[in-house]
A and B are shown apart, each in its own frame.
Chain A
């Protein structure tokens, strides 16, 4: 084929330009370490890279959320632990106070310490986090949620629970409203509470109580009335007798009816009565106030024992609530940790995938670089050789 001299030269030049273009592309890739330097390098890969970067950023944010949630939950756990300690001390003092050898003076001293403990408890219930938010206020974090008034402590927070997004579709509560922790503790054994009538004259004391058959217990109000020191009747709220039987004042005994049982010890007087009422909600502070009130009152020893015994059951319920809440906090922190490690795995996976999509394979690139520089050298060599070949050189 005929070729034109100038076009042949131009083609050599074109080839060299092309090779140089390729080399500059490789140079850019090696410089940035990325295979995709603009979307047109690989449109699908570029879109995927945008997506993966977004997923990675999302996961990083979830990790930040988990850190902040763990800080809040950790603070709650610490506070609840202190609350538990205070309640434990209250329980110890209460048992001491129930000891029959105590005098009115020593019980008054115990009551004085308990007033301190109550204030301490109130302070804990009004704890703030690092941002100055009250942690047991529900969503009304701007004001102290527990207010001590003459009639007792009232709760002015709400029932809100702050959630945190810990992962795609996973929200975990980062707190508990103070009402659930401090206020809404059920009295008695959680199902019902037994109270001695104020006019009782015998020495009968309420012992252990319990529900033996939950299906038979209807949650109603009943009266256990001792018609004689050795006989009792259980009456419903209308006064009808639902159960009756004998009681041994020497050994004490358990009265069972409607699927519940109540143990008694001591000798009741005729017409002494005990009310069985379904559990109601009572705040921890009311329980403490009740204990303090009972310790300071100067009625009969039996009345005191029955009152303190009732409050002991309430106190145990409060301790149970705190323990349960702590268990819940622990479970949430555990869930957050698990999600955290899952997020960590995901981050790694996204990073690997992103690197696969957009990062340069250096081995590949280096071999390409050497290949293309050889190609450029070959093109340059060809040009210089061709330049020297013309017939005019021989026509001298």
Chain B
């Protein structure tokens, strides 16, 4: 006969294992990453007693964690997407906050151009002129403030970049250590170690987008980007930060071992969000702001140079502005240098460019890496031209692989300033007056009279244009020149357009607009710069460029908000699915507790019964 006592004891022990597992599960109900454990039992091999088998009790087969590799992988990928979306939302939210604040560029532009109009209303009024200069200073400060806020956000991104890389390195090291312990563990699965490792991987995927490959020895390999190993077996590989080759103040993510730059290959997680935000939201915003500053300075300065100030001098530079920034790659071996300037503000975009030499030719690429066609040969006489910029090579020869980065508008907003301090130097008046003689018989009238070359020493010398036929004229008795309707007459640095047709004997004079303190002709034109299409081939005004910036930043923020909502929902879904398999349900554990408790009590009764039976046997012999 089978041993009832040992059968009872096996039940007792099995119930004890069940009870401890329930206890373990309940204790870890709130442990992050914990997978509930289940006990599996099997009946012991029976004992053959003649023609039949008698059961011998229960064996505890295994204590296993409830786990689905598929659901966990889905959770890691959701965690990575959510980590990215949340970080991205946080950063774009900050940028949006900066644009909603008091430093509204459009208001500054409006009040600046309003004061230009006030000067037009009272051109000789010293107070109107002083207010104009003060408002110009205010406008420059608004540019500085916005640019400074963008810069400080950039600084914050850099610090977060370094912190995130440190966290990634520490998590990778943790995973490698757990890999080692898991590989060393023998026999059954070390559930709790596996849970710890899964939890670390989930944390790591929130920091950076990773791919995970299980190995035969129970270890997990973790890769980042396209195949850069973070963890391989029991070894972890650190990421690091290093200065950008063009700009030492800008940190890039690199492989600490080889120094290879990984920034462009990293996606997902907080790190992906930081890099993506920096290159796709912050840099374009800074460039767009700079483009608005450049457009303002360039157009306003050009119009200002078309006027004369109260001292009778041609208008000088009104706004100082930083031109395109050129940075040579740290790895350049040749001695070539590059200068860049803006040749056509209307064609200027908000891109950064890289100009590189392949050994035989120079190639220009934009921020996305697409090749941009250039004209010219790069010499001072015939510079490379593309995107409204001209590039002139200088210095010695370049070697293959040398490159330069050009940031046309990056520093413009931070570097704008007012060049004029003397209110009298605001050029509100027209420098020259053109007039038709009263006796003219043709219907030609004086149209636009502009300064074509302010450096001409004879600019202010009075000149007389006399027509000897409708198509021929001479200036100050000089040689006869051909007049073509629609083509301006250029002389002594000025350019005069005539509308209508002149007749034989008609004459026109151009002379200095002397003592014209009350003339506001140029101030009116300066005021019109506010709504002048300057950028994008004449379609966008300075204010329009700011509007574009607000639109860009706003839609990046709005998309980030939506993405964060969506990714949170996806993450919650993945978490609910994973938890439905691996999570601890306290009610279930309560039921199991009752079950195992009862089993324990019943097994104890079996032992008691065995004891009673044994006592009955002993009693029989006594009796």
Chain A positions within 8 Å of B, measured between CB atoms, are: 1-7, 11, 14, 37-44, 46-47, 50-51, 53-54, 57-58, 60-61, 64-65, 68-69, 131, 133-134, 137-143, 158-160, 162-165, 168, 171, 390-392, 395
Contacts and interface: CB of A to CB of B under 8 A. Distances in A.
A41 B594 CA distance: 54
Nearest to A156: B515
B99 interface: yes
Contact of A61 (B117, B558, B579): B117
B581 to A, nearest CB: 7
B120 interface: yes
A320 B114 CA distance: 39
Interface in B571-593: 572, 575-576, 579-588, 590-591, 593
Nearest to B555: A43
A69 B520 CA distance: 13
B97 interface: yes
Given A68-B122, A133-B124, A158-B516, A5 B587 contact: yes
Interface in B312-349: none
B111 to A, nearest CB: 8
Contacts of A395: 590, 593-594
Interface of B: 29-30, 36, 92-93, 96-97, 99-100, 106-107, 109-111, 113-114, 117-118, 120-125, 429, 433, 435, 513-521, 524, 527-528, 530-531, 543-544, 546-548, 550-558, 560-561, 572, 575-576, 579-588, 590-591, 593-594
Given A4-B579, A5-B587, A139-B517, A38 B110 contact: no
Given A39-B99, A57-B107, A64-B114, A160 B580 contact: no
B579 A142 contact: no
A11 B569 CA distance: 11
B587 A53 contact: no
A116 to B, nearest CB: 30
A1 B580 contact: yes
A11 B520 CA distance: 68
5 contacts: A39-B550, A44-B551, A61-B113, A64-B117, A158-B516
Given A38-B99, A54-B110, A160-B519, A43 B558 contact: yes
A139 B543 contact: no
Contacts of B99: 38-39
Given A64-B114, A158-B516, A40 B92 contact: yes
Contacts of B100: 37-39
B609 to A, nearest CB: 27
Given A3-B583, A133-B518, 8 more contacts: A2-B585, A43-B552, A50-B547, A51-B544, A141-B517, A165-B527, A390-B586, A390-B587
Contact of A58 (B530, B544, B546): B530
A54 B120 contact: no
A46 B585 CA distance: 48
Given A39-B100, A39-B557, A43-B555, A4 B580 contact: yes
A14 B579 CA distance: 16
A41 B555 CA distance: 9
A41 B520 CA distance: 43
Contact of B583 (A5, A54, A139): A5
B29 A46 contact: no
A38 B543 CA distance: 18
Contacts of B521: 160, 163
B276 to A, nearest CB: 16
A6 B29 contact: yes
Q: Max chain B CB contacts within 10 Å: which of A39, A165, A395?
A: A39
A50 B575 contact: no
Contacts of A138: 516, 518
Contact of A140 (B518, B544, B553, B560): B518
Contacts of B106: 50, 53-54
B114 A3 contact: no
Count chain B CB atoms within 10 A of each CB in A43, A140, A141, A164 and give the residue with the most: A43
A390 B433 contact: no
A38 B97 contact: yes
A57 B110 contact: yes
Given A40-B558, A390-B587, A141 B518 contact: yes
B429 A139 contact: yes
A133 B122 CA distance: 9
A163 B572 contact: no
Contact of A2 (B514, B543, B547, B581): B581
B101 to A, nearest CB: 9
Nearest to A61: B114
A162 B518 contact: yes
Contacts of B515: 140, 142-143
Contacts of A143: 515
Nearest to A40: B557
Contacts of A47: 547-548, 550-551, 554
A160 B518 contact: yes
Contacts of B96: 38-40
Contacts of B514: 140
Contacts of A40: 92-93, 96, 553-558, 560-561
Contacts of B107: 53, 57
Nearest to A168: B531
A131 B126 CA distance: 10
Contacts of B552: 43
Contact of A165 (B524, B557, B561): B524
A32 to B, nearest CB: 10
B521, B558, B560, B572 interface centre (most CB from chain A within 10 Å): B558
Contacts of B517: 133, 139-142
A7 B518 contact: no
B562 to A, nearest CB: 10
Contacts of A139: 429, 513, 516-519
A39 to B, nearest CB: 3
Contacts of A165: 117, 120, 524, 527-528
Please give me the 10 A-B residue pairs with the lowest Cβ-Cβ distance, nearest first. Answer: A4-B583, A40-B557, A39-B554, A141-B518, A43-B554, A57-B110, A139-B516, A139-B519, A38-B100, A391-B590
B572 A11 contact: yes
Nearest to B117: A61
Contacts of B585: 2-5
A39 B117 CA distance: 30
Contacts of A133: 122, 124, 517-518
B118 A64 contact: yes
Nearest to A129: B122
A391 B594 CA distance: 10
Contacts of A5: 29, 583-587
B168 to A, nearest CB: 25
Contacts of A163: 520-521, 524
Contacts of A44: 551, 554
